[in-house]
Amino acid sequence: MTRQRVLLVEDDENLRAAVRAELAAAGFEVAEAADLAGADAQLAAGGFGCVVFDRMLPDGDALDYVRRRRLAGWDGRVLFLTARDRAADRVAGFAHGGDDYVVKPFAMAELTARVRSLHRPGGIRPPVLRVADLEIDCARRETRRGGVLLTLSGREFSVLEYLAVHAGRAVSRTDLIEHCWDESADPMSNVVDAVVTRLRRKLREPNLVHAVRGHGYRLGPAS
């Protein structure tokens, strides 16, 4: 059986060797590059099911590199692997064409699982998330309900986007804090509830954001 191919773009030689060994042990065929020029050379040959990019490389930010390639029509699956862990960094990663985002330090088992997920049919997150009559354009950071453009703050959009990625499932307040706020946010405060209250008002009826007793919130039609 042909092994699935992964391109690993990482300038830290020790980390690159460790990730390569882990992915190879999981059954992937791994090619390597230490910078964006090397990535260009590897991608010219094609055949990769997924590319794992470190963000900050010797010849530039992989975020800008991926954005340029996306604008040129490239549709390869991309996982950003980076120490940049602010909510704004993660949002930028998706907005510039990433399909997944893993923060250093990370568990090798988690990275392998995420790479495997991107190789599955349908593993790429669609650029526009749809829940009932709600449309969330992740690249343009625009939200429409029933075709009408809504005005959301950056925080409201981040919370709604995260709920939409997990539509139909309960998402805890802690998960929302970790993915949509920076490290200064207090997980015991009511900041999540306040944002959700504003979201519900702006999304209008019928309500799509439902409280899940003892857990958090779920996005979707009433069950």
More confident residue, 156 or 183: 156
Please state whether the predicted TM-score (pTM) of the whole model is above 0.75.
Answer: no
More confident residue, 168 or 202: 202
Average pLDDT of the residues in 115-120: 79
Q: Looking at the domain that runs over 5-119, which CATH code has it been given?
A: 3.40.50.2300
Q: How far apart are CA 11 and CA 56, in angstroms?
A: 9
pLDDT for the residue 86: 81
CATH 1.20.1740.10 for domain 128-219, yes or no, is no
Average pLDDT of the residues in 53-58: 93
Query: Do the domains at 5-119 and 128-219 have one common CATH topology?
Result: no
Residues 64-116 have pLDDT tens digits of 999 888 888 788 889 998 888 787 888 888 888 888 888 888 888 888 888 88
Q: CA dist 209 to 24, 56, 84, 105, 134, Å?
A: 42, 37, 30, 33, 11
Position 187 confidence tier, pLDDT thresholds 50, 70, 90 = low
More confident residue, 34 or 125: 34
Q: How far apart are CA 102 and CA 112, in angstroms?
A: 11
For the chain, give the mean pLDDT.
Answer: 85
* Helix, coil or strand: residue 218: strand
Q: Where are the domains of the chain?
A: 5-119, 128-219
Q: How far apart are CA 210 and CA 18, in angstroms?
A: 43
